[in-house]
Amino acid sequence: MPVIEELIRAEQDGTISFGNYTLGAKAKKSDFEYKGDLYKVKTYSEITKLERNDMFVYESVPGTAAEHFKVTDTAVEFMVEGGRDAQITVQLENDTDYEVYVDDMAVGSMMTNMSGKLSVSVELEEGKAVKVSAVKRQ
């Protein structure tokens, strides 16, 4: 999975891809319109952040490249690549229990906090994408 040279792009399958963890200096792209929303991405080797309509969506420390990022009413799913292990935080529903999967292996149930943020640590190595998903428990 290559880094996203244009910083953010829409994919044929209705998802978005963003981030470039190989950059030595901060880069950003604002006002990327997708499905009626405006996205902003800030990315480089130390951090990748995504906002939709000026609201938090995704953050990784250190920086990552996320492909096929998709959010539904019940889940978030994406492929992620980075140069080293990363802490990834995504915005979901407040005070809700999610089952988290890394490469389709359940890593446990996690509860979002009052602001709806869910954080997961992912082991990464350059050149190898890892699938991450969080599915709302019923």
**pLDDT, averaged across the chain:** 95
Per-residue pLDDT of 63-120, as tens digits, reads 999 999 999 999 999 999 999 999 999 999 999 999 999 999 999 999 998 999 999 9
Which amino acid does the sequence have at 3?
V
| Integer Cα distance of 53 and 47 in angstroms | 20
SS3 letters across 86-103: EEEEEECCCCCEEEEEEC
Per-residue pLDDT of 31-61, as tens digits, reads 999 999 999 999 999 999 999 999 999 999 9
Give Cα separations from 122 to 23, 25, 32, 60, 101 (angstroms).
20, 23, 27, 10, 10
Question: What pLDDT does residue 105 have?
Answer: 95
CATH number of this structure's domain 8-136: 2.60.220
Question: What pLDDT does residue 3 have?
Answer: 79
Q: State the pTM of this model.
A: 0.95
The residue extents of the domains of the chain are 8-136
On the question of pLDDT at 2 being above 70, the answer is no
Three-class SS of residue 58?
Answer: strand
Question: What pLDDT does residue 7 have?
Answer: 97
Cβ atoms of 78 and 101 within 8 Å: the answer is no
